[in-house]
Amino acid sequence: MTTQTWFITGANRGIGLEIARAALGSGHRVVATARRRQTVVDALGERDDVLALDLDVTDKPQIAAAVDAARERFDGIDVLVNNAGYGHLALFEETTDADVRAQFDTNVFGLMDVTRAVLPLMRAQRSGRVLNLSSVAGFTGFAMASLYCASKFAVEGFSLSLAEEVRQFGIHVTLVAPGFIRTDFLDPSSMKLGGTSIDDYAAFNDALRGAYLPMNHQQPGDPVRLAQALLQLAAGDAPPLRWSAGSDAVEMVDARLGALKAELDAARGLSASVDGDWVGAPAGQGGAQRSA
């Protein structure tokens, strides 16, 4: 087995911590980062195969320093796990502009900035794996999760496009899309709730909170098994572009695919009616090259 260096954001708890433990258990080296380094040390201990670092993914100088430290300590990065992020649960009209920007600063721009800092190392070594933690919420919408879903949809579009650009350098990008995993995600320490209220939404709001909050630490997905599955994905020669984690995620993706297909078929004729008369005509005879 080839020893790899894993760079993991948000490695002090939840999915990130279990990924770090799984990688170490398989003999790999880990650069384990979190906003407070000490929380990583408390979770993993001080050991030669772990480099624990302070890293707030919204802090570009910290990102650069962390990647430099990883290169100096382990001479490169083989697997990047963009795990850091949080969920903001609130009805959209009850959120603020600051809420939107904070959600995207961490879940989207932070992920992009870490990736931008790591890619030159992977490109130089002509190999690497980028595992971007998305969610089933990056493929389907949930009431009360408009900001979180929007951020994960952005991560999905970014990742699928990035994969097309870096594959030529032996770098593979995989979207990891869990369903409901038993972590602290629904804890107040991790999740943010809306701070304003609108009377028209009161009953709907109460019903949604009553559905989400009791799921805390009762989610069906096992983060330990998720971490073990990611080791398999990272070791494979042809990892998938998008991988759903958990039977609930598979069911929700299946349902969304079915709904998309039904909508596509129902409006297929109307969709095709948008084409111009020249579509399909030979070039030079009124035909035109079509572009996206």
Q: What amino acid is encoded at 158 in this protein?
A: F
CA-wise closest residue to 81 among 111, 39, 120: 111
Q: What is the CA radius of gyration of the chain?
A: 21
String of DSSP letters for 34-83? ESSHHHHHHHH-S-TTEEEEE--TT-HHHHHHHHHHHHHHHSS-SEEEE-
Confirm if 122 and 169 have CB atoms less than 8 A apart. Answer: yes
Residues forming beta bridges with residue 273, ordered by sequence position: none
What is the rounded CA–CA span in Å between residue 248 and residue 238? 24
| Per-residue tokens: 30 | 């880990």
What is the rounded CA–CA span in Å between residue 176 and residue 194? 27
Confirm if 190 and 184 have CB atoms less than 8 A apart. Answer: yes
Provide the 10 A C-beta neighbour count for residue 272.
9
Catalytic residues: 134, 148, 152
79 alpha carbon, distance to own chain's centre: 14
CA-wise closest residue to 92 among 138, 137, 145: 145
